[in-house]
Structure 1
Amino acid sequence: MARLSVIENSDSGRCSVRTAAFLAQMLFASGMCATQPSFEAEAYHSSINSSSPIDDQKESQDVRDMAAAYLASGIIVLSLIASFYRKHSALRPAKVIRTFRKRAEAKSFCRPTAPKHHSFFQLETLDYRRPDHSDKIAYWELYQQNCLEPFKPKDITEEDNFHTNVLLIDSGIDVTHTTIDLQKEDGLIQPWRDYTTMNTNDTSDTGISSSLEDEFGHGTSGAHIIVTIAQSAVVYSARVCKSDSTEVDPLIVAKAINDAVENQGSAENQGSIKFQFIIMPLGFPEGTKGLDVLKIAIEDASKKGITLIAAAGNEGNCKNPAPPACYPEVLCALSCDGNGTPSGFSPSIQINSEKKTEFLVPGEGIECAWIEPGKCHRQKRFPEHIDPLGPDEKGGFTYVSGTSFACSVLGGISINILERLYEVAIRDCGLDAESAKEAVDRVRRNHLIEILGRMERPERRAYLLVPTQVTDEVLKGYLDKSPRGLTVSS
């Protein structure tokens, strides 16, 4: 029984050679016992019943028949065991037949190390030549063609002077990139503050020109995505990090937000800027020192009517969005491809919440400006009539993925909503330019989240934002719901 329990508890899940040998021994022993009567039985028969030769011959024949039956059964069982063993050995490679210790050692050797939680949520730059990446790139291009371009306003011109001020808290913006330089000349890229040269306890003003530098490329790409999607966006650079290896301090991010709130435009302060959006393609692990200060700064900015957007993080579907994206005052950008399939690196979307602030937007295969010429899939200057770039000149483009870039896409879509609202206010509501701008800002403060929610199709469990689902009639209804004087208290 002890030997049988070993067989039943075998870890291999199949009969081993040692098990087959044991069964063969058992069957052989049984046959031998059957063919040889015991000594006591022989003595008993010889002393009590001395049988006749005919009876002895019949008994001997019965014993031989029983032995033959045992041996035949043993052969059949051994054949089945050998067949079962050969079949399963062919299905599995020989290298998995190892002891428990070897298996444990191999498993620990192959186990990947836990990924570092980057403050900037950049996942990777994509190789456009790979088929799986080509699909993601094609999905993004189709999303632009079918969902973004038809939603953009048609009647807004430069003479309307309609602009949306965006504070991008990131690694800076590199204006030596030729495309970014052209956007800077058009006034779409502006410096704000460089916080990488200051101490967290320093309250003095920081550098301005150095905020338009970027050693990492993350902020440059994010700014390019925003300006490409939204023609009215003016992106101001708040530089809080110099490189990918530099940790971002939540206290620095909090100071950038507080500075933006304190410098909100007013009639008394001629040089101030009124920000409508603060975009943060970054995040921190729970429990990071300084998050309490950052949360207070975000709450103050929200009370002042600023819309805040942050990246959810690239920690995977089983993780919750990281701070500050998980705060209720912040719009959380989750990533999917252009078809609406959630990204494997993105946290999953929360549904049926009382106040929805999580939105699913494309964050895979996004083409954007890149500052490293050797990693660009094309070196092409914009617009096309300008001379081609040199091989080492910054001006190329690449494809990127990550919730940080989904954050920029969500920012661009949100600004597109304001542009369409302004267009409807001028064309359909008959408002003058200044009244239209005030009406649009009231809708942004009070109804932007609701409008973004109407771009989803929850009845089909489709949460990808599709801007074309929001018509001019819907936008006009929101303008009518926000009469003059209805604003968020500050």
Structure 2
Amino acid sequence: MKNSIHFKASEVVSVLDTLTLTPGNLDVIKARDVWEISKQGEGNVVAVLDTGVDTDHQSLSRNIMDGYNFSDDDKGDPNIFEDYAGHGTHVAGIIAAYQDKGRGIYGVAPKCKLLILKVMNRNGVGSYKSITEAINYAMDWTGPKGEKVNVINMSLGGPTPNEEMHSAIKKARRKGITVVAAAGNEGDGNPNSFERSYPGYYQEVIQVGSVNKELQPSFFSNNNVNIDFVAPGENVYSTHLDNKFVKLTGTSMAAPYVAGSVALILNMIEREKPSMIPYFVYHYLLTHARKLNYSIHSVGNGLVQLTSANKLTFMTSYSPEKFAYFFK
């Protein structure tokens, strides 16, 4: 469908009723190295545009601040943003899950909060209209204590550009919101055979590809000139429906590792000028990323890394066009 957005469903490899685990992927991106200095993302709000969330999940419920339904599920009732597909719950857990009473799983930023904006229905289908409305909603949303959205995660994509959605993204960025999206799962393993998914392909969006546990580009991960960074995206454990945990694969899983990282980074950078925040976030990601010996069309600037160390040199592997855009 030309004007639809979607996620490519991943096979559920295993389902666990109980899980007590600090996922190794947190150490792959070195998230725990900065948990103390970043306060585990406390004070920041990530808007998750997806299939909703399991609002009662033991590892997520206290971090869910609010939500809104833009999909056609539940007859379009805006107040019901429950997840019937599991995708949104899995993505939310990668960002902000926590252990409760010794049970559960840790996300990248377990003390950040979530605004759940349901833009896809139980079949994983939505529209550019719903995503545009959700981005505008995220920009205008204010929490009970004056909280504002700092990060938007979109583990979804459509095959064609959409000007209304693009305009909303540009406006969000000018307001100081960092926008992160999945690169897409239409890759064929050829770094010179480009695949584009929107909104990830837009310059204003941090587009995230997937790598496996050996830090090799995932075969399915889209390749194009605007890939920014990569993160773990294969066989990722996270939260799922009915208070359970599952393992999923896709760039949908890689993007929230970066969105959660941004929630940590925001507590380690200068934030006095809101319009400059996405610039400083990108600067941090760029200067700390781990260079991987693969085409920049597959891995962009490299693997996302978090550290309190202050690196002053830029990486030499980057997309010149993207670099110029963020550092103009």
Alignment TM-score, normalising by the size of structure 2: 0.75
Structure-2 residue corresponding to 1:189: 64
Higher helix share: 1
Give the secondary-structure state (helix, strand or coil) at the position aligned to 2:55.
coil
Distance 1:466 1:118 in 2: 26
1:250 aligned partner, one-letter code = Y
Q: Taking structure 1 as reference, are residues 343 and 193 closer, same or farther at Cα in structure 2, changes over 3 Å only?
A: same
Distance 1:349 1:455 in 2: 22
CA contact (8 A) 1:122 1:404 kept: no
1:248 to 126, 133, 151: 126
Structure-1 residue corresponding to 2:315: none
CA RMSD of aligned residues (A): 3.2
Query: For 1:86-108, what per-residue CA distance to the aligned partner results, in whole angstroms no more than 9, with x for missing partners?
Result: xxxxxxxxxxxxxxxxxxxxxxx
Distance 1:413 1:157 in 2: 12
Give the secondary-structure state (helix, strand or coil) at the position aligned to 1:472.
coil
CA contact (8 A) 1:330 1:357 kept: no
Residue 311 of structure 1, CA deviation: 1.0
Distance 1:156 1:348 in 2: 32
Query: For 1:49-86, what per-residue CA distance to the aligned partner results, in whole angstroms no more than 9, with x for missing partners?
Result: xxxxxxxxxxxxxxxxxxxxxxxxxxxxxxxxxxxxxx
Q: Taking structure 1 as reference, are residues 395 and 218 closer, same or farther at Cα in structure 2, changes over 3 Å only?
A: same
Q: Does 1:417 align with 2:265?
A: yes
Residue 441 of structure 1, CA deviation: 6.0
Residue 465 of structure 1, CA deviation: 1.8
Q: Does 1:154 align with 2:36?
A: yes
Structure-2 residue corresponding to 1:305: 176
Q: Taking structure 1 as reference, are residues 251 and 313 closer, same or farther at Cα in structure 2, changes over 3 Å only?
A: same
- What are the within-5 Å matches in structure 2 for residues 185-264 of structure 1? 185=62, 188-197=63-72, 207-208=78-79, 210-211=80-81, 213-227=82-96, 228-244=107-123, 247-263=125-141
Q: Does 1:278 align with 2:152?
A: yes
Give the secondary-structure state (helix, strand or coil) at the position aligned to 1:216.
coil
Structure-1 residue corresponding to 2:234: 364
Distance 1:221 1:192 in 2: 16
Higher strand share: 2
Structure-2 residue corresponding to 1:165: 45
Structure-2 residue corresponding to 1:465: 303
Residue 232 of structure 1, CA deviation: 3.1
CA contact (8 A) 1:121 1:311 kept: no
Residue 147 of structure 1, CA deviation: 3.8
1:119 aligned partner, one-letter code = H
Distance 1:414 1:440 in 2: 17
CA contact (8 A) 1:226 1:411 kept: yes
Q: Taking structure 1 as reference, are residues 442 and 323 closer, same or farther at Cα in structure 2, changes over 3 Å only?
A: closer
CA contact (8 A) 2:54 2:243 kept: no
1:154 aligned partner, one-letter code = E
Q: Does 1:334 align with 2:209?
A: yes
Structure-1 residue corresponding to 2:279: 446
Query: For 1:292-350, what per-residue CA distance to the aligned partner results, in whole angstroms no more than 9, with x for missing partners?
Result: 21111112112212111111111014342301101111110111113310001101253
Distance 1:146 1:316 in 2: 23
2:13 aligned partner, one-letter code = L
Structure-2 residue corresponding to 1:121: 8
Higher Cα radius of gyration: 1
Distance 2:181 2:28 in 1: 25
CA contact (8 A) 2:230 2:304 kept: no
CA contact (8 A) 2:120 2:126 kept: yes
2:174 aligned partner, one-letter code = K
CA contact (8 A) 1:165 1:276 kept: yes
Residue 146 of structure 1, CA deviation: 5.0
Distance 2:59 2:224 in 1: 34
